Amino acid sequence: MEALTWTGGLGTILNPVLTVLVALLAVAIAAQIILGFFAAPMTLQSNPDGTLQARGGALGKAETGVKYLFLATLAVALAYLVVPQIMPYGSAGIIGEMTKRFLPVWISLIALFAVSIIYKRSLGLYGKLFDSTVGMIGFGLVMFWGFTALYVGVFDMIVTHDYLSQVSGLKNKTPGVPVPEGTEGLIPHYLLGGDNLARDIFSRMVTGSVFVIAIAPLATIFAFMVGVTLGLPAGFYGGKLDTVLSFVANLILAFPVILLFYLLVTPEIVLTGIPSYMAAFLFVFPLIFFGVLLNSRYYTQPAKRTAILVPVLGVLGWLYLSVINQKGTVIDFLPAWMDLFDISILVVFVSVVFVNAPTVFRIVRGLTLDLRTRDYVAAAQTRGEGSWYIMLWEILPNARGPLIVDFCLRIGYTTILLGTLGFFGLGLSSESPDWGSTINEGRKLLLIFAHPALPPAVALLSLVLGLNLLADGLREESLKD
């Protein structure tokens, strides 16, 4: 079996075309910039049909050239993704085989975007996101890794080899290396090469997305539950309650984040049971939030309120007990048949929630201080609505724009935080395929072998970039409301 090249036979056709297009695009952009310094100011003039007139002269031709050259370059780049789907194995090289492995992700993205664009006018703020190019790009990057984690974690697709299996002779081998006979996974190559323990880098990279996607959004949701539940009354009531809660939040924020993590995830601290007690305290806030939310909404309908609250709190309570109950810790009391799952990285999860919650609290408190003076709050008070109804059903919905944007950004911060933890080997096992741990393993030989560290680094960069672009798109559209 021969080694794979990056583009294979497909590259003999597309590589020269792409090189020429990129060179022409660079020249056109340079010409546009230079001509722009000498062009006369352009006034907005309309055509008879109401459209704006295009710029004329050399600058206008340069702008048109940039536009069409960019579209042509994009079309060739898409060809690297589309054409390999109908080519035999290996003929499209490493890039072609990777695009084949991600075929379920491409199909899911196309279906999601098609449905979302068709029905965007009836999907609220989410639908308006598809009016923003920046937002769509960010959403596409985020959902790419979201679907990847789904297909890897649930359906065991995309991966080519067991992310823990080691193949003798493939230590630090370059991308496209063939594996010895009898050790083939789903394909007979390591697409992105082998790491310092002869494990498949491609499989470890896509499996690492499961760890990030499973922890970052969920931990951010829990942090928001804590921050919202405490921030609303602090801002609405003020007084001593606000003073005490703000002092505690500022006290936590005064600690360096990495130092806090180091203190929480070290084995000595874990053995004291402190993280388990913190989990028991922090994870009760979703129960409080939903309990108060539903009670305030159906307070005047006791029968309906009871019918909704009992099953909702029953399910959430069961999930809460299953989360905090961990075998071998100070909180281990549930019988096996009641314990739904065992979270091996509970310490990391608790640490992320604990670090993010104070910041969310301060944002919610600040928004509440502003919104509690609005006319619709006074109108609700005149109607005789309770304080929690006003906070949860009047103030919180009107604060959703900034909170949604912060939620997306905070997932990005949490992703970086998880990568940092993995990089320093805090809270995660040494064999974990999370991107931070993988980057840390690869950087030790970075000057000699660059390929083990680059794929997880690019994956981490693309996900955080997507979250930031998504937040920008949501902020842009929320300001139009």
pLDDT tens string 437-477 = 888 888 877 778 888 889 999 999 999 999 999 988 888 87
Domain 203-459 sits in CATH at: 1.10.3720
376 against 40, higher pLDDT? 376
Number of helices and strands in the chain (H, E): 20, 2
How high is the pLDDT of residue 123? 84
Q: What share of the chain is helix, strand, coil (3-state, %, to 5)?
A: 70, 0, 30
Task: Specify the DSSP element, H or E, that contains 189.
Answer: strand 189-190
pLDDT band at 100 (very low <50, low <70, confident <90, very high): very high
Q: Which residue has the tokens 């002779």?
A: 169
* Three-class secondary structure of residue 340 per DSSP: coil
Express each pLDDT in 214-270 by its tens digit: 888 888 999 999 999 999 999 999 889 999 999 999 998 888 777 777 777 777 777
Confidence check: pLDDT of 322 > 70? yes
Tokens linked to 93: 């090289």
pLDDT band at 310 (very low <50, low <70, confident <90, very high): very high
**Other C-beta atoms lying within 10 Å of the C-beta of residue 301:** 11
**Other C-beta atoms lying within 10 Å of the C-beta of residue 297:** 16
How high is the pLDDT of residue 362? 94
Express each pLDDT in 68-91 by its tens digit: 999 999 999 999 989 998 888 888
Q: Which residue has the tokens 């029953």?
A: 314
d(CA 428, CA 440): 12
Confidence check: pLDDT of 176 > 80? yes
Confidence check: pLDDT of 375 > 70? yes
d(CA 185, CA 166): 11
How high is the pLDDT of residue 52? 52
How high is the pLDDT of residue 465? 93
How high is the pLDDT of residue 64? 86
Return the domain boundaries, the chain: 1-38+56-100, 203-459
Express each pLDDT in 48-74 by its tens digit: 555 555 566 777 788 888 889 999 999
Confidence check: pLDDT of 328 > 80? no
Mean pLDDT within 354-368: 92
Percent of the chain with pLDDT over 70: 93
Among 36-50, 385-399, 420-434, which is the least confidently predicted range?
36-50
pLDDT band at 146 (very low <50, low <70, confident <90, very high): very high
**Half-sphere exposure of residue 232, counting CA atoms within 13 Å on the CB side?**
23
Confidence check: pLDDT of 429 > 90? no
Note if the pTM is more than 0.85.
Answer: yes
